[in-house]
Amino acid sequence: MREIYPPHYAAFHCIAGACPDSCCKEWEIVVDAESVEKYQMVSGELGNRLRQAMITDADGDVIFQEHEKRCPFWNAQQLCDIHGELGETALCETCRQFPRVTQDYGDFIEYDISPACPEAAWLLMELTPEQWLLSENDCPEVAGSLPEYDGKIMQQRKDQRRILFACLQDTSVPALKQMSHCLELVTQWADFSEGTSDAICTEDDILSFLNGCEVLTEDWKMILTRARENPEVSLFYDAALDKEIRLFGMDMLYRYYLRTAYSDDPFAILLPVQLAAFAVCTVLTLTAHIKIQEEQRLRIWQLFVKEIEYDGDNLEELEWQLETNAAFSPAALCAYFESVGGA
């Protein structure tokens, strides 16, 4: 079994009460069956609280019933009562793993830390594009299962992803131009033709989509409101933003691109690159409308993942729009990058 890690994975440690956007609030926490059984056996006041907090949602999942959009076990010190009284091993699988992401392909596993977590996002953006190098090691004690994909297709996807990484690591060309090049490459690989469409993705298209989505956090709501209320657009495209685009793009392609090996649809490889490109468009648009500083921009990168990528309904709608809406086609996204000027 091969295990693969991005360069910042080992550096991650939860900063607990110091976190500016705890995963203990504004999210539904699903409790796995093993933890449910374990929590039923906990004695004392904490045991009573656990049993009272566990409810079954409309999807049939057991969750902790939120109190004022917070996990009921997240205390005034912004720490977890379950962790404090029973230890880390007592946490449910969701809380124990997040923001770590595991993608098991059968004969190899890829690990990442999701930039939905502020600390993970900060570690990602502290890298340089040249430092985005994956590390691999053998783990013989972990037995892999038979892969459920075609080996030739997976190797092709790995080779393609390396090419996309190399594009985004090439700092001799602006990041937006390289994002456009990535979109052009996957359209060629998929033999995808958009005909004679001259559609362009605009800020109005982006804001219209974002405003139609479910909103989880007050910060995201405030950002969208400020963007709507300020029609003036002024984007300062600098070296820091250029670097962020490269790193975020590589991280998203790392998490999504190889999954397309499971699909029989030859156009499936378009979606991960479109998704990364749309995230970049979102950050550029919101940054231009509300004129924020670099540190605040990191918050938008992080919240895009939390609000769009980690909300099943929002992500499903975005994927549908990317597949069907001419304003979000590969060519239209490239035209948006060209209009920004950074390309």
- Cβ-proximal residues to 96 (8 Å cutoff; 6+ apart), any chain: 88, 89
Quick check: 236 pLDDT over 80?
Answer: no
Predicted pLDDT at 184: 95
- Could you give the strand order of the β-sheet that contains 135-138, starting from the edge strand earlier in sequence? 100-104, 108-113, 2-5, 135-138
Predicted pLDDT at 115: 94
Cα 205 from Cα 229, distance rounded (Å): 16
- pLDDT cut 90: percent of the chain above it: 52
Predicted pLDDT at 343: 47
Predicted pLDDT at 141: 63
Identify whether the C-beta of residue 50 lies closer than 8 Å to the C-beta of residue 83. Answer: no
Which position has the higher pLDDT, 119 or 237? 119
Average pLDDT, the chain: 89
Predicted pLDDT at 305: 95
Interval 72-97 mean pLDDT: 87
Predicted pLDDT at 178: 96
DSSP, res 212:
T
- Give the per-residue SS3 of 29-92: CECCHHHHHHHHCCCHHHHHHHHHHEEECCCCCEEECCECCECCCECCCCCEHHHHHHCHHHCC
Q: Alpha-carbon torsion 193, 211, 298, 69, what sign?
A: negative
**Which of 2-16, 60-74, 99-113, 314-328 is predicted with the least confidence, judged by mean pLDDT?**
60-74
Predicted pLDDT at 194: 73
Predicted pLDDT at 276: 97
pLDDT tens digit sequence for 112-164: 999 999 999 999 999 999 999 999 988 776 665 667 778 899 999 999 999 99
Confidence of residue 60 (pLDDT cuts 50, 70, 90): confident
Residue 292, H or E segment: none
- pLDDT cut 70: percent of the chain above it: 96
Quick check: 342 pLDDT over 60?
Answer: no
Predicted pLDDT at 145: 64
pLDDT tens digit sequence for 180-199: 999 999 999 998 877 666 78
